[in-house]
Amino acid sequence: MLGLHYPSSAQGSLVRFHSPIDAKPIALAAALLPWLGGASEAQDFFQWADELFGMQPGRRYERPSRPTEPPRRKTEPNRKEASPAAAIEDGGPRPDIKPQAPPIVSFPYSFPPASVVIDTSGRKLYYVLEGGRAYAYSVSVGREGFTWTGVEPISRKQPWPDWYPPEEMRQRDPKLPEKMTGGVRNPLGALALYLGTTLYRIHGTNDTRSIGRAQSSGCFRMLNGAVLHLASLVEIGTRVAVVRSLSHGGQEVPKS
């Protein structure tokens, strides 16, 4: 290490100061001095030499900071998506419902007494009586594409039946359960009359607006009081004839 001597202004004598100066950059500067172009280049050289020989801390490498990601927004579940339906749904209470007899009308057709005739175009179900008369019930029939005609016997009478929506119906409406127990909320109503081995039924309903319209999937809906009255007349094996129209080519059925 070298020492530098500076004159003292107070006593005129030399005062020796020792500063920690490394001789390596000075020796190197002396060797390169003839090639340095001036004071500015010499100053730059000494700054470079200080960093090279450890006089000053070198520049630290800093890893570039990772850009901060914006906070994720909490997403709410899509309310429009239908939640999966329960396998079994309660059909509700089973109140006591009184049978209600419909009007008796003239029935000038050749169907046998104690049989049922359904006129799909007229939205009427008839229970044929003796003497050319019949009970006339208003019904809802199958909508377009779900109408049918034929003859089937009544194979079962079931109060407050359970309802098992068909698979194709559940595909159209995923909210439907696999089974709904009998009750006032059950679309089969207070009683169902099953027709042969088919899936079709004559059954009750609380939906009074559907009566007289073509809205079902092939079944025949009646008001609960009306289907209870019909069930008191028919037996297992009673013949049910489903026709397109009774008035076609003949006398219209009068209402009374």
Which ranges in 36-172 belong to alpha helices (H)? 39-52, 167-172
DSSP conformational letter for 149: -
Supply 150's token pair: 């034929």
Q: Distance between CA atoms of 152 and 67, rounded to whole angstroms?
A: 76
Contact 181, 90 (CB under 8 A): yes
Q: List Cα–Cα distances, 169 to 51, 193, 198, 199, in angstroms.
A: 84, 21, 16, 13
10 Å CB burial of residue 161 (0-12, 13-18, 19+) is buried
Q: Distance between CA atoms of 143 and 226, rounded to whole angstroms?
A: 21
> CA nearest 227: which of 206, 203, 208?
203
> CA nearest 218: which of 116, 149, 146?
146
Catalytic residues: 203, 219
Contact 239, 151 (CB under 8 A): yes
